[in-house]
Structure 1
Amino acid sequence: MAIINDSTSRPVVEMTSSIRDACDDYKHYIEFILEPAKEELEAKVRNNEVLLHQAFGVNLIVAHSVDYLQAIRSAAGIKESRTDLVKSFDEKFAVSGAYLSNRKMELIDAINNALKHIRVDPRRYKSLGERYGQISFQSLVEDEGCVLCHLENYRFDYCRVVLLPALRALANWEFDSAESVLEFAKGEVIIWHGGYSDTYDPFDPSTAIDRMIEICSSPCQNCEEDADACRCSQYVFAGDEGQFEPLYSASEGEFEELMNHISPSYNRA
């Protein structure tokens, strides 16, 4: 994964006291609320010990992160509604996962709204209603240490597929200044997900075996479980059975290059 600053072609925003205060608020929210919530949920998911009320609590925390980011964007002069920010959230802040791509924060926000109002207003969440049907607080159910999301044509592990990817996109940051928080909140930090991990130097032939092992043992990009532990095949997405989707993959050309580094006689075989 690479982090790229994409602010060069955009107008510079002067750092005002209002912007700085909003950035400090978000840094505080990350350190004392988002990060602890992420670490606790990761541990409970890993041990299959998630209770329903805990999932709803984390969902509320993630949903309200939008308000902190919108406060920064508003102070910086960005005109948009909260609804607009929610709809574009996954794209702006790089929430990963193949299933429910670019729709996670919308669902998080809708589930949070359903907990408050019992059922979401279909007029407020028209596009979600067309996709998922009626969303209510009973859409989440506890099942053997997991919390499943049951919707029309959908059934999946809510914490693994939705909550944890959103939490990691929001909390896995060590901002060193208000300016860096502002860049993130404005969507000027691009997260580029490469074909596989960037732990090893792709130009160093001596790392070829390690890179091949990493690719072949890739976790699922949706639930982040190993292939043997992945349960996505038990779930349903848009009426279709899910499946293991590797987080790391290599193109045909990359695979050929790796094999040539591992065994120079590969192409002659």
Structure 2
Amino acid sequence: MDKQYLNRITYTKDLINKADYIVIGAGAGLSASAGIQYGGQRFTDNFAPFIEKYGLTDMYTSGFYSFPAEEERWAYWAKHISLNRYEVGPTKLYENLLQLVKKANYFVITTNVDSQFELADFPPENIFEVQGNYGNLQCAKGCHHSLYDNKLLVNEMIANRENCRIPSNLVPQCPECGGKMDPHLRINPYFVQNEAWNKSNDAYDCFIDESKGKNLLLLEFGVGFNTPGIIRYPFEQMTYQNEHTKLIRFNMEHPNGPKENREKTIAFTEDILSVLLELNK
């Protein structure tokens, strides 16, 4: 272990111990580091029939693919949801992250939709899933604010899939308007922000307000530039504006931030799980 890395580990441990408030900001890179990858072998192993039929290249872009029929769209989405929400289970990385902060005063804001924080036993009241959750469906036009658990339906779709299609009677329809339904993901302007979403948003805002003037530590994991306005830019702004705020950034590809924050930021480009294991020693 080189001295520079050891110094960063030691300093980070000290910041965690001294923090009055800790905010975890999690992007796609955190789940990718946990093994929930949207491309490569994990994609080809699980979606071979769809790749052959439609020429799909990865799970991210496939989510925006225009399938010819709802029976085909839901055949794909059933497997996508099942693989990333119901089949993967809790991961060692998220469990080690909980171990790191469980005695602290913390809150989680995440753009991930795979429930990994919940599966690792983070308290739901301490989690704000900004972009939705794979486990729910909504009206595709957002005609009302109810969400619908999809686990049983997803399992039934997968069990009855044939030639990249599901039976027409399994295609979900909105119980209010009779129209199409979507996974509860922020993929268009009709994303449903219901009472539970607003409650989580308010809880996060309240946590940030309470941290002002206190020792606030921002732990940012795997946040790139897909939706930087949700976590990355606000974290950098808080670091710049607040005297007692420090930022720890875990990011292999985009570790650098504004030069004004250089003295208040520590960056780890190493494997996230390896760093967490070291921090937990």
TM-score by length of 1: 0.32
TM-score by length of 2: 0.31
Q: Where is the helix percentage greater, Structure 1 or Structure 2?
A: 1
